[in-house]
Structure 1
Amino acid sequence: MSPDHSDPTPEPTPEPTQPPWEQMLRALLGDRADEAIAEMRARGIDPEALGAAGTLPTDPAAMQQVLAQVQSLFASGGDEPVNWQMAHDLARQQASVGGDPSLTPARTRQVLDALTVAELWLDAATDLPPATTPGRAWSRAEWVEATLPTWRTLTEPVASSLSTALVDALGGELPELGAGDDLDEQMRALGLPGGALPGGLAPGQLLRRLGSAVFGLQVGQAAGTLARDVFGTTDIGLPLLEVPAPVLVASNVDAFAEGLDAPVDEVRLFLALREAAATRLFTHVPWLRAHLLALVETYAREITIDVEQLEQAVGSIDPTDAEALQSALSSGVFAPQTTPAQRAALERLETALALVEGWVDEVSAAAALAHLPHSVALREMIRRRRAAGGPAEQTFATLVGLELRPRRLREAAALWAHIERTEGDPAARDAVWDHPDLMPTAEDLDDPAGYARRRSAAADESADLDKALAEILGEEPPQDPSTP
């Protein structure tokens, strides 16, 4: 029998499977999902990029758990900006990826000994005394538990802004959703029971809960990812503990030391110096932590979008036309507005972060130089790691909408070195932290040599103002202590 050469009927090409995050959004929003996705991207939350970078779980079982949590969120009636239970659970799960065993007594002792030695060496490099809390050796899970309260402070302002923007821009376009709508079938297709949303859910409430779920996923995945990367609690330039304490995440320190020319004990000591120095600064400069967090909050709370422009753009675009939405997005229609207050807060924040990092860099390097043979190479490696924007900086940029890379770290370190050199005393350098008004500015980073001159001129202006006020009030003008 001759072979049958007739062409077989071609099988239909299967449609590409949507990623889990898109399934979830489209199940909840239907045709409006395209606009919601575009809005999230405009607000710095790109679900596709987050999924590709591992910010959303790709394991089917993990995603099923997340979807079940989303169902619970919508049924619970909560409208907080971030679903913190979801964030906590996912952060713990992600922190344990690759293993996170409890520290043995021997490993704990290695870390505590390194922190103790670091404190002794720092006594010769700075007049700021050690922190009032003892050093700690943590697992990644312990880092997550201890730092989540500060992540709440940092992320809720921008989460609230996002929720408001979504409601203002899209809330009026969504129908009332009830348990009898097509949503039931879509939720069942995802493996969830029908009736996941209570009947009569208002559109604004739906969007707020959606934003809460998205941020819960994002914060949880980011915190868990950071837990596998950070060395302590000061890596991003902000103190992540309300009561500062020197901490090292033992497994991350060991992982960083692998492949380096320096012995792991030396690397541990160098990182302990940096952590202990930063903790001294945040402990004994009481206004500094609140100052930095307030600048972040000012920036985040000022995030706005032009809702009118957005509504006009959305009204002129077919929501099923992804190419049209992409074109609108690239044209800047959905871009957040940058207010003058934001720009001012960002400049102050970048300068303050550079000053913190520069001080830690200079003091820890001075303390290490006489004791660690590889201290110069390790200092340069950490500088490059921070300047390149590692996972810590990238994660924070995703969460809060701004980058915390100390762009002017080298200039700040040079400024602190100049102040110590000209004053001839580390105490004079450290005294600059006594009051926010004494802090160097961006101009001082540009011209360290002129810092003392500008500070003297500012002091003279202040004295003249005090004298003028005294004359107006009929009081005795303050005496110059240098006058006999």
Structure 2
Amino acid sequence: MDRQPVDWDLAVATARRLVRPGPQLTRAEADEVVTQLRTLAVDAERHVEDYTHLRPAAGAVTPIAVVDRPEWARSNVAGLRMVTTPLLDRLTDASRGSVSTAVGRRVTGVQLGSALAYLAGKVLGQYEVFLPPEEYGSTPTVAFTKNGEGPAAGDGQGPVGRLSLVAPNIAHAERQLGVVPRDFRLWVCLHEQTHRSQFTAVPWLRAHLESEIGAFIEATDLDPDVLADRLRSAVAALRGAVRDRGPEAPSVVEALQTPAQRAVLDRLQALMTLLEGHADQVMDAVGPKVVPTVADIRGKFDNRRSGGSPLDRFVRRLLGLDMKLRQYRQGGAFVRAVVAEVGVDGFNLVWQSPATLPTQAEIADPGAWMARVLGSRPPLTA
């Protein structure tokens, strides 16, 4: 019997059962979306590399998967299982198996599947960093090199992450926003290809992220009573969010942090803010050259991000998605400020080593990062 406190198969089944259907498309329309997304993903790779000057390591291949909502949920369960297994194994050992009761495993599986069903209708694309090796062949994917002819024979490195595009969500968003489909699809691809460039051109980045996740696991308090107390505190903190008392109510993730975890998560949040902000800045910097209607898209998309019903806003806060929106804004502002002052190559010094990554304080103060890493701080302007 699986000792882990999550029924992973039930999580997949729950997500597939609860996920809402995508927009109504004819077979020809669906085929057109999928075909164009694959083509534009390859085009976006070239545009991103030309702007960022980030070149993938030799032999690095990124499969491209154009998927539907249920498949996105399934692959994310596989990725979550891979990343969380060390922590869940420790929790199970610490509780001498009590966490892994049949009922508890099923409840957790249903909860995870329900959350992924919600997210499966929202996510446009994703660069999947952590996947089991078998996942690279489990879905219809297309792996391309720069010339679009496929991976060269004899490449020793193999897949480095996977770029997934959720076709029904992209089609739904472009209809809802009333934007030019081809332009919107390329704009989305620019964002995800920036993440691909980050992880394929910066050789230490994935290992650093894995190390930080490992540090988070080591900092986890495994006392079941302490965890239960913290969970009760998290529920109490979220009551204000249920009543929509303001944007500062914490997510479950934030409310459950220990002091030691908070230190690790501060570093992780700074890193993720940098990665998301960089992708946001690149899609807008490249956009005017290759996406004629980028200004219209950006304006409408930002309104969509910040809108939604009260229930939608509550769920976003509960799952910590408001944090991701802050990452786009804060990270984008940091990257734009640095690029404006020292150019793309000056900004790229951020990728030299983990020591040159910005802290959370430096994300809010780009000049402080430039003073520390570049040795100079630009004068303040009115």
**Is the counterpart of residue 142 in structure 1 residue 71 in structure 2?**
yes
TM-fit CA distance, 1:361? 0.9
Instruction: Please name the residue that 1:258 is paired with.
Output: 175
Instruction: Give 1:223 shift.
Output: 2.6
CA distance in 1 between partners of 2:221 and 2:88 (Å): 12
1:285 aligned partner: 202
1:99–1:141 Cα change, 3 Å: farther
CA drift of 1:277 comes to 1.5
Contact map agreement 1:412 1:445 (CA 8 A) in 2:
yes
Match of 1:223 in 2: 116
Question: Residue 339 of structure 1: CA displacement?
Answer: 2.6
2:23–2:171 CA contact under 8 A, matched in 1? no
Cα distance change on mapping 1:214 and 1:301 into 2, 3 Å: farther
Look up the equivalent residue of 2:259 and give its one-letter code: P
- Seen in structure 2, the aligned counterparts of structure 1 residues 93 and 99 have a Cα distance that, compared at 3 Å, is farther
Q: How far has the Cα of 1:415 moved from its partner?
A: 2.7
Are the counterparts in 2 of residues 100 and 140 from structure 1 also a CA contact under 8 Å?
no
Distance 1:310 1:410 in 2: 33
- Please give the alpha-carbon distance, in whole angstroms, between the structure 2 residues aligned to 1:272 and 1:428: 25
Secondary structure in 1 matching 2:363: helix
Q: Deviations over 1:403-454 (max 9, x none)?
A: 7525253343233233333334x23322421311111222322322233222
| Change beyond 3 A, Cα 1:134–1:327 | closer
Preserved contact between residue 63 and residue 161 of structure 2 (Cα < 8 Å):
no
1:163–1:211 contact (8 Å) kept in structure 2: no
In structure 1, C-alpha distance between the alignment counterparts of 2:90 and 2:72, rounded to whole Å:
28
Residue 370 (str. 1) matches residue 308 (str. 2): no
Q: How does 1:4-23 map to 2 (within 5 A)?
A: none
SS at match of 2:326: coil
Shift of 1:271: 0.8
Q: Report the counterpart of residue 33 of structure 2 in structure 1.
A: 107
Match status 1:268 vs 2:156 = no
Is 1:340 matched with 2:259? yes
Preserved contact between residue 361 and residue 379 of structure 1 (Cα < 8 Å) = no
Match of 2:14 in 1: 90
- The residue correspondences of 1:24-63 to structure 2 (distance < 5 A) are none
Asked whether the equivalents of residues 4 and 88 of structure 2 are also in contact (C-alpha less than 8 Å), the reply is no
Which residue pairs with 1:212 in the alignment? Answer: 105
C-alpha spacing 1:430/1:380, structure 2 compared with 1 (3 Å): farther
In the alignment, structure 1 residue 417 sits paired with structure 2 residue 310? no
Question: Does residue 355 in structure 1 map to residue 268 in structure 2?
Answer: no
The 8 Å contact of residues 281 and 335 in structure 2, kept in 1 or not, is answered as yes
The residue type equivalent to 1:129 in the other structure is R
* Structure 1 segment 323-472 matched on structure 2, within 5 A: 330=236, 338-382=257-301, 398=319, 404-424=323-343, 426-456=344-374
Q: How has the CA–CA distance of structure 1 residues 259 and 149 changed in structure 2, closer, same or farther, with 3 Å as cutoff?
A: closer
Cα contact 1:147–1:240 (8 A) shared by 2: no
Tell me, yes or no, if structure 1 residue 249 matches structure 2 residue 175.
no
CA distance in 1, matches of 2:163, 2:234: 48
Change beyond 3 A, Cα 1:209–1:267 = same
Q: What is the identity percentage for the equivalent residue pairs of Structure 1 and Structure 2?
A: 29
The Cα shift of 1:355 comes to: 0.5
The structural deviation recorded for 1:268 is 1.1
Distance 1:328 1:352, change over 3 A: closer
Evaluate the alpha carbon distance shift between residue 442 and residue 78 of structure 1 in structure 2; reply closer, same or farther with a 3 A threshold: closer
What SS is found at the alignment partner of 2:290? coil
TM-score, normalising length: structure 1:
0.56
2:125 match: secondary structure: coil
Q: What are the ranges of 5 or more consecutive residues in structure 1 without an aligned counterpart?
A: 1-76, 169-203, 314-325, 459-484
- Is the contact between residue 226 and residue 395 of structure 1 (CA under 8 Å) also seen in structure 2? no
- Per the alignment, residue 50 of structure 2 pairs with 124
Q: TM (normalized to structure 2)?
A: 0.69
**Letter matched to residue 15 of structure 2:** A
* Aligned equivalent of 2:62, options 133, 152, 160: 133
Counterpart AA for 1:415: F
Q: Is the 8 A contact 2:73 2:120 kept in 1?
A: yes
Unmatched tracts of structure 2, length 5 or more: 133-159, 239-253, 377-382
Quick one: distance in 1 between partners of 2:8 and 2:126?
A: 20
Structure 2 distance, partners of 1:288, 1:392, is 32
Aligned-partner SS, 1:247: strand
Contact 2:334 2:364 in 1 (8 A): no
Aligned pairs, number? 325
**How far did residue 350 of structure 1 move?**
1.6
Q: CA RMSD in A?
A: 4.2
Deviation sequence 1:219-272 (CA, Å, 0-9, x none):
2232333222211124xxx74556323332111100011132421222111111
Residue 54 of structure 2 aligns with an amino acid whose one-letter code is L
Q: Distance in 2 between matches of 1:257 and 1:328?
A: 37
What letter is aligned with 1:78? D
